[in-house]
Every structure is written in C-alpha cells, then in structure tokens.
Chains A and B, each alone.
Chain A
Amino acid sequence: MMRPTMTPGRSEGTREERTREERTRSEGDRGETTREEGITGKTVYRQVGQSPNRLEAREKVTGRALYVHDMEFPGMLYAKMLHSPYAHAEILSIDVSEAKALPGVKAVLTGRELPYLLGLYMVDKPILAQHKVRYQGEPVAAVAAVDGKTAAKALSLIKVEYRPLPAVLSVEEALAGKVLVHEDINTLDYVKGVFFPQPDSNIASWHKTIKGDIQKGFAQAELIIENELRLPQVAHVPLETHVVIVEADPYSPKVKIWSSAQSPFAVRNLLAKAFGLSRADISLVVPYVGGGFGGKAGIHLEPLGVVLSRACQGRPVKIQATREEEFNQLPTREGLRGRVKTGVTKDGKIVAEEIYFDWDGGAYADYSVNVGRAAGYAGAGPYEIPNIELHSRTLYTNKVFGTAYRGFGHLETHWIIERQMDLVAQALGMDPYELRMKNLLREGAATITGEKITAYSGRVDQCLEAVAKEISWSGYQSALEREKAFQTGKARGKGLAVLHKAPAMPPNTSTSAIMQMDEDGNVRLLLGAIDMGQGAYTVMAQIAAEVLDMPLEKVKVIWENDTDKNPYDWQTVASKYTFMGGNAVIRCAQDLLRQMKEVAACVLRSPSEELTHGDEKIYHVQHHDKAIAYKDLALGYTYEDGTGIGGPLIGRGVYMAEGLTNLNPETGQGLPALDWTYGAHGAEIEIDLESGEIHVLKIASAFDVGRVINRKLAAGQVVGGVIQGLGSALIGGYKYSPEGRLLNPSFTDNKIPTAKDIPDRIVPIFIENPQLDGPFGARGVGEHPMISVPSVLANAVYDALGINFYELPLSPERIALALARRKE
C-alpha cells in the first residue's frame, strides 16, 4: 500500500529542490530525533515544522469563543431527562399527567412514543428507554419547559413503576449469558460482514484474528506465559458537557441542530436513517467544542432534541448534560478483561500468542464493537508474531455504555500487552528492552493481519531506543538494590513500553476541502472536520500556506462548521485528519495554483508549464519579472481595457483512503491501516512505601510522526495525552454498587489529574521517518500519547517494588495494601 511516490504538492517548480533536499536528509537509515527544545529551523519549509500560535487562540483567551454551551435563541426551551434508578428493569408504567399539567411545560416524552432505534454499527439504542431500562442512569422520560427549573420540577412529578430484573455487571456474567441485556439481539440490525453479534448471547460482536498455527507455535515454545489483566471504565471528561440545541421546522421535515459534536456528517447520516429524512433536510452546526476525546464522536443527544422540538411546534430546545449526566448517562470508555498466553523461545522470540479481549461494553454497542474490531488488528502490539489467535468480544452489560475514547481501545489493549511483555521478560530473566527489541515490527516484517511493514512505515525501535536513552535505562534493578531503597521509605523504578495505532476507519473513508481567494489575496479555507482544540485547523492553514507559499496570516479557516456549507468529512476521530485533511488541503491548494497558472499563462503569454509560483505570485521560471500577483487573479484577471478572464478562484481537494481492504470475516486478515504511528514511553517514578503514592519523576515519550507540521501543537498533544493517560493509570475508574448503581458520578469521587498531579517532567521526542503518502511525510499523533502510559507506569512499579499489578488504577490504596500484604 505504500506507494513510492512523492507527496502531493511537492512535485512542482521551486518546491521540488527543497523537497529533495529534505527527503535525503531524513530518509537516511535513522530518522532524526528532535527534542522540543532541540533542533529548530532545520528545514527550508516556511510553515511546516514551525510553531505558529493556534489560529483561534485570541478568541479563546478573551472569552469570545462561543460554544453551544453559550448559545441561546429566542423562544428557546430547556429540556431535562429523568433517569433510571435501576441497572436492569422492566418499565411497567409511566405516568406523566402531572408533569404535563405543570405551567411552563411544553412537552413530556417517554420511550413508548418513540419507536426509533439508533446505532453506529449495531442498531440497538432507543432515544428514551422503551419497555425496559438497561443501565442505571438511562433516560426514561424527557421534559421541555420554559426554563430549567420548571423542567426539573416537572421531572419530579413523573411516576415510573419498574420491575427490577437481575443485572449483568461483569464480563463473566455477560459471557455466562444467563440474563440477556438485549433479549432481541437476534433480530437487531447491524453492519453485516464487519461485526459479528452472537445469537442468544450478550456478545455484541466477536472479532477473530487468526494467523499461522498457534498449536504448532506453542509446540515450538520453550516457555509459555499466561496472564489475566483488567481495567475499569474511565470517563472522557470534556470540560464542556454534551449539549445540543435543536430546531425542527413544524411545516417541513427540516431540522437544524447546533451540537458540541466531533462528527457532524456522521450525526447527520444516522439521524437521516433513523427518522427517514433526506440528508439535505438536516443541518448540523458545530461552533467551538469544549473537548471531545471521542466521547462526542457518535450521535448522542441530537435525536432527543429532534423529537422534543417537534413536540413543541418547532421551538428551539436546548439539552445540556449536567456533569452527573456526563458521567452517568452519556457514554464512557469500555472496561476490559484481557487474557493472554504467549509462547517464546529461550532467547526471547515470540512464536505464538493467544489473546482473549472481553470488553465490558455496557448497555449499548455504540463504538465499542468497533473498538473491539480495532483490537483485532492492533491488540497484540507492534510485534511480529508468526502464529496468533486473537478473540475480541464486545459484551453487553447493564452498565453505562462504552464508546470511542482517545486511543480507541489501544490504551486498554496495550495495558494488557505491554504488561505481558514485561511479565514474559521476567519469566525469561531477560531485560524487557531486549525482549521488545527482538520482537518489534521492522521493515520486511508482517503484522498480525498480514500487512507488510516497509521502510516508510515508521520505526518503533527508534522510539524505544530514544526513550530508553532519555531515562538512562539499564535493565531492572536487582532485588538487592530494591532492598536498599526500601530502607529509605521510598522506592524508585523505571519502566518502558511501546505502542502503535492506526486510524480505525472504513477502507473508503474520505475528506474534502474548499478554498476561495478574495481580491486582496487572502484565502478562505472550508474544511469538513472539527477543531476541538487539537489544532487541526492551524495545521491545515500551515499546509495551505506552505503549498501556496504565502504568509499564514493570509489563510483564514472558517470556524463554525455547518454541514450545509462545509465540504464532507467522515468523522473527526482516529488521529487521521493531519494525514487525510492535510492531503486534501494540499490538493486543494494545488487546484488553486493550477487555475491561477492557466489564467496567468494567457496573460503572460507563456505556456503554463513554464510558470511557477512563490511569494504570492505566479511567475516565469526564467524571467522572474514576468509575474502576476495572486490577488490580481483572485476574481479573474482584468486587462487594462477593463475586460476580464478567469473568474473567481475556487479550489477543491479531496482525499480518499487508499490501499485499505475489509478484513476477512473468518481470519481478520487484510489491510486495515492508513498509517501506523509508533511510539514508546519511558518512565521514572518514586513510590512512597507507606502511603502507596506514586510520584512520577519523568515520562519520556517518543513518536515517529513522519514529519512534525506544528511543533508547539504536536508537543501539546503529547503532554496533554500523557496526562490523560496518567489519569487512567493512577486515578480513573467507574465504581458500581452490587446492584449496578454508579457510585461516583461526579467530580467529588471521579477525579482527573490536577496541576498538582503532574510529573516533574515530560519529554516529548519526535522521530521523523516520513510516510511517503502523508502530507510532507506526516502521520497522526492525536491519540497516541495516552496509549501505554498505564503500562509504562506499572512496569516502573514492578522495577521499584518487585510487585506486578494486573489491574488499574494503580491507586495509592492498591499499592499500599499490596505492600502491606507482602510484609505479612
């Protein structure tokens, strides 16, 4: 799939020499390692690799950036939802008469009136619970009223009668299948051939990856190491909770939605399907988004907004999740139980591996079946494994449902795999660095789905080497050294872990961009994706400015994304936008250049092949004074006699994924990856042996991003991602009562790291082995920094204490009690 072609946008005129020079520099045997504070200005690019400020920063520091959270419309109503107190129960009756009678209440809806089912992959989720509730916190009724207070009062007047049912609260209970979360699983609609629900079970999808022959592989093994590891559900915690405003025209099928959403086109698509509307009837507007992290990728409050607004004669209805609803009603990250059995030779070569991933997916499948699928091709880590059988089962349970969360299952699977690698190393008495180095994917190796790794796929070994060096790794400490440290009351340890991730997306995923030039030579860029703080629009503007060779200030990205006006994008997920959007923008800019050259060719009376561009001009390659400024072409060129030629410039650029295939339904073999971004972390920690608190001294994180487009933003992704990973490792996690009630649906007991919880130092390291079809060689890095942070910390904990942990979080309590147990 890797075509040895030049990056689009590099093959013309003055650009070419620069590009050649650049490529020979970084395509050597070893990619260059650049530190944040390190080498700058090493390229001849004007934009790429620089650190301009994010475009929207001024709006954000002045409080002028508006989020859906901030929006109000004339006549707007406020909606609130009533939630199930039971994890699993039949709804016997709902009496809304008193609520409806309350002055100020404009609509009260229950699931009985809403015979719709929605879902990205499994069509399994009602807008409001219909005949039964499947998790505590599931909405059973909704009220729209003139203000929030009235809506809240109305909710208190709704009477619901339930008949509690036994609940499925663990992967074990889900697999036992005695109680079914979806008794109608056999008749649910789903995306066939990609997902595999199992009849009469709680298995929403069972994905298999089978390569080689594990029987034979295990027979060759000189040592077999088996382990079970787990981690709980963890919340995304965007600071802006989910919020929508919906206005449904009472005289036509038209609906207009303002949503804090990551994937407006996907929401439009699913809404159209569920309500039988045409895409053109639905407009989705996304202004600034206060954080997403995957939790706003799917469709959430939008359908409820539509039915409520319809029930209120088209008045705009706002639904803003409370923080409690954000934790308890809206989706979270799946929990996972991983069982892994690894067969190795004595010298540390992996010969066979069997993995069972059982995902605690909660009440509805949402993205978690696709998370399960992604685990099928990436869940064994960036290693070459000749014989493997990997089963990834997404299970229904009576808990808050799971969805995409930054890393899309990879933080979870790498918790299992990267702990297992250390456990294997311990069993072999080998340095875990050596063990990894021996098995990492390298040029010529094949992934577990049969994809060949090439010289242009990126280098995970270089990432590992870089972080090992940064933390001065020299192997586990000896028991003696540990003993010594124990006397001081504090123990120190170091750890390593690697990671990889490719975008989880269909083979035909696409995106598009439109560019228009104003008469002053400024360019307006319309994109399909959403910038929710990751900096996508700034990176796209840099790319546009680079290709057009103009100042960044002259490229304006249109912020409020509107499906009626912006060009299509599949979804803003999967760390693929720099790659895909970048390519679309390059093509878009090239389209604009081509149009300018065509007109300039007439005006300058030169063949367009002899024209080149630079400094906002089209000029002749040899006779530089034969030139026309962009702005003189923007609306078409005007001759001295007043006649014109050309017309307004509008560029278009699209990018559709190339080289991907569906996966074989039986074996999981195929080409799922647009690009692999590899990475590694090295950590140094100190543990208080009495309180069990982990103090992180340093985390070094290296990623082979192919090419850094914006250094400052890339570093921001790394630092922010590592801290989110740290939260998952040390703090995060849902806790349920034995009946399945969420015990920590607020910040009081569901914590995220604060400024006092960060490591002393984080060192981001960028390795730049270009991806030939990436824009300027770039790959994505949005999600990756989070992945393997829990594993690297647990590996460091082992080094410090000689104790292995198999479950997250690594809370002070877990560590202190383990130490106390060992003492006894």
Chain B
Amino acid sequence: MCVEHEHKVAETYLDSGLPRVRVSCTVNGESVSRWIDPTMSLLHFLRHELNLLGTKEGCGEGECGACTIILGGKAVNSCLVLAQEAAGSRILTVEGLGQGGRLSVLQEEFIKEDALQCGFCTPGMLMSARALLDRNPEPEEEDIKEAIAGNLCRCTGYYPIIKAIRTASEREREASQR
C-alpha cells in the first residue's frame, strides 16, 4: 500500500533547487543514510524516507505530541526537529519498542488497560511513556501526567493510559529485580 516514491523525490529536487544533503543516523538500532531535502523535518524523514509510519503528525507545531520519538535518549517532538539536526544520533520510534516479534511490557499494558481507542496518539504516547520509565523507573501519578501532558488524546480521557504506564513500571521493576 505504501511505496517509496522516487518519482516524487526527483520532482521535488527540481522544484526546490536546493542541493540535497546526506543524513545518517541510527534508527531502532539500524544505521540508515539518505540524501534528503535540507529543510525536511525529522518527522518527515522517518515517515517518508524510512517508511516508519507509526510516528504520526497531528499538528506539526509541537502542540499535540503525536510525533514524539526518543532522540538521544530523550523524548522530543520530531515535527520540530530538522532531519539534519539528528545526524549521527540514536533514534527510537514506536517500531523499535517490541523485540523479535514480541511486544514490550509497556505495549502489553496499553492493550490490557485499553489505553487506546482510535490509536492515533498511541505511538507518541508510548514514546513519552518509554522515555519517562527510562529516566524514572518509579514514577508517581503526577510524574506520569507531567510526562504525557504534551501528548493530546481525544479518545481515552487519559485514565487508562496513566494506569497502563503505572502497571508497566511495576512490571518492569519486578522484572529487573528478578
């Protein structure tokens, strides 16, 4: 359904007249390298160049959090980062959360708690949650709210999301103690 679109790339190149630039980085553990338009956002780089369509665009202006990814260990709005700024960095997107066909604990808890309805905010929400648990394995309710307040969800009312993050943190802690 989704194909690479070389034809489009060629035409863009003619139109913008800007020389393409090479961007290399590590995404979900894999090294990638692409020649791109210099004004491309990291969000569009992930979606259109790498075909990682899990990361969504809900506003393009830093307000909704649908585009949240983890860049160099930190949650960021990928719509407000230029692809070139990410050159040489390590990036984690929703596609990198599960390992070898198995869901991560966080994803499992999102399913169990029904922390998603339409699912459009979910990838960004998961990445904000992942970054939170990485920096704070024992978050209080207030920490969870703070971490996801920049991720708008119009469907769930947030309670199941907050619960899922909390139970995931408990399960991850148990697993690490074992």
Contact = CB atoms under 8 A, between A and B. Distances in A.
- Tell me, yes or no, whether A and B come into direct contact in the complex with CB atoms closer than 8 A: yes
Contacts of A269: none
A809 to B, nearest CB: 17
When A and B form their complex, which 6 residue pairs have the shortest distance between CB atoms, in order from nearest?
A63-B54, A290-B120, A533-B118, A60-B119, A533-B117, A747-B63
Nearest to A146: B11
A261 B90 CA distance: 37
A76 B5 contact: yes
A71 B47 CA distance: 10
The winner among A54, A323, A716, A721 for most chain B CB atoms within 10 A is: A716
B14 A104 contact: yes
A59 B94 CA distance: 11
13 contacts: A60-B119, A61-B94, A61-B111, A62-B103, A147-B12, A149-B16, A239-B66, A239-B154, A291-B118, A323-B58, A719-B159, A724-B154, A746-B59
Nearest to A724: B154
Interface stretch (B80-88, B145-153, B170-178): B145-153
Interface residues of A, number: 65
Interface in B119-134: 119-123, 126
A237 interface: yes
A63 B127 CA distance: 11
Nearest to B127: A63
Contacts of B120: 67, 69, 238-240, 290-291
Q: Count chain A CB atoms within 10 A of each CB in B14, B122, B146 and give the residue with the most.
A: B122
A645 to B, nearest CB: 40
Given A57-B114, A756-B146, 19 more contacts: A54-B116, A57-B116, A63-B55, A63-B93, A63-B123, A72-B48, A75-B7, A76-B8, A149-B16, A239-B155, A240-B58, A241-B58, A292-B118, A322-B60, A716-B160, A720-B155, A754-B149, A755-B148, A755-B158
A104 B5 CA distance: 15
Contacts, number: 195
A535 B114 CA distance: 10
Contacts of A64: 54
Given A62-B94, A755-B145, A54 B54 contact: no
Contacts of A721: 157
Contacts of B48: 72
A747 B59 contact: yes
A291 B154 contact: yes
B154 A719 contact: no
Contact of B159 (A53, A74, A288, A758): A758
A103 interface: yes
Contacts of B155: 239, 291, 533, 716, 720
B50 to A, nearest CB: 12
B124 to A, nearest CB: 9
Contact of A69 (B57, B112, B122, B150): B57
A467 to B, nearest CB: 17
A540 to B, nearest CB: 16
B98 interface: yes
Contact of B161 (A76, A238, A755): A755
Interface string A232-243: 000011111100
B45 interface: no
